[in-house]
Amino acid sequence: MYPLPNLHRAPGTAAPPQEEVDPSLQALESRQEEILKRLYELKSAVDGLSKMIQTPDADFDVTNIIQTDEFSPLSTNGADLDLMLGKDYGALKDVVINANPSLPPLSLLVIHSLLCERYKILSAVHTHSSVKSVPENLLKCFGEQTKKQPRHEYQLGFTLIWKDVPKPQMKFSIQTMCPIEGEGNIARFLFSLFGQKYNAVTSTLIDSWVDTAIFQLKEGSSKERGAVLRSMNAALGKSPWLVGSELTLADVVAWSVLQQTGTASSAPANVQKWMKSCENLAPFSSVMKLLK
C-alpha cells in the first residue's frame, strides 16, 4: 500500500515538492474522458431511438407533417403546361402510350380522365399490328371521341396504342425524350401535370405507396399482398386517403392494382370503404365500366 500523505505539517515548514505528472498519463486520462463523453452521447441517442420504436404513436410527428401539408384539389384551374413541359411554339404537346390490352393500365386511364377535367385534351385510341384483337370496351376506353376543334386549340394530345409490349411505355416529345417504362413511372409523369406541390415527407410516402402497389401488391407473393393490405388498412384508419386528406397518386395506383389483381373483394374493412370513396369519383367509375 502507498503511504498516506502527512496532512499535519508544522507551521513554517515547506511543503514537499509535488511529483511531476507523466505527459503520457495525462494524454491517457484525456482520451478516457473523451471516450466516456462519446459513450454517454451514444447511450442518449440509443435511448431516444428505443423510445420511438416502442411507442405506438411513433409516427405522430410524420402524421402532423402530412396533415399540415398544403393540398390543392385536383379540380382547380390547370397549371401552366408550358412551364412544366417546355414551350414548343404553341404546338400540341403529345403523350403516346403503348400498353398491352391483356393487362390494361387502369391507373393511366383514371389519370387521363382527371386530366380531361383540367385541360383540353385531344384523345385517341389505336391498335398496333402486333395485337390480333382488342375488346370493344378498350377500344372505346376514352369514350366517344368527336373532334370538334382544330388540333392546335388543344393543350395536350393523349394517344393510347394497344400493343404487344411486356409493360406500358410512354413517349413525350419523341425527338428529345427517352421512353418511360412501367405503369408506376408513367403515372408519376402524368400526375405531375396537375402541378401539385408536396413537402418532402409527403412526396416520399406517395412514392413509397406507388412502389409498394406495383412491386408487392401487383407482382409480389400472396404473403406480400397480405402484408400490404394490412398496412393499407392501418393507414386508412387514420385518414380518408392513403396519404393525408386529399386524393393523391398513391390512391390512383393502389386502387388500380387492386382491380387488376382481383384482390379488391377480399380487402379489409378500411380498404373497402376507401375503394368506395374512389369509385364515387367519376374518373374511377368510368374505368370500372371497362371491367364489366
pTM of the model: 0.72
Q: Which tens digit of pLDDT belongs to each residue from 143-182?
A: 776 667 787 788 888 999 999 999 999 987 655 567 899 9
For residues 166 and 224, membership in a common domain is answered with no
- How does DSSP classify residue 166? S
User: Whole domain around residue 121: which residue ranges?
Assistant: 81-193
Q: Which tens digit of pLDDT belongs to each residue from 215-273?
A: 999 998 989 999 999 999 999 999 999 998 999 999 999 999 999 988 888 899 999 99
Yes or no: say if 253 and 259 are a contact pair by the CB < 8 Å rule: no
| pLDDT at residue 155 in the model | 87
Residue 208 within a domain: yes
Yes or no: say if 164 and 130 are a contact pair by the CB < 8 Å rule: yes
Name the E strands within the chain.
93-99, 121-127, 156-162, 169-172, 180-181
For residues 167 and 189, membership in a common domain is answered with yes
Give the whole-angstrom CA distance, residue 74 versus residue 76. 6
For residues 88 and 175, membership in a common domain is answered with yes
Count of structural domains, the chain: 2
Domain boundary among 193, 215, 239: 193
Does 80 score more than 80 pLDDT?
A: no
For residues 188 and 87, membership in a common domain is answered with yes
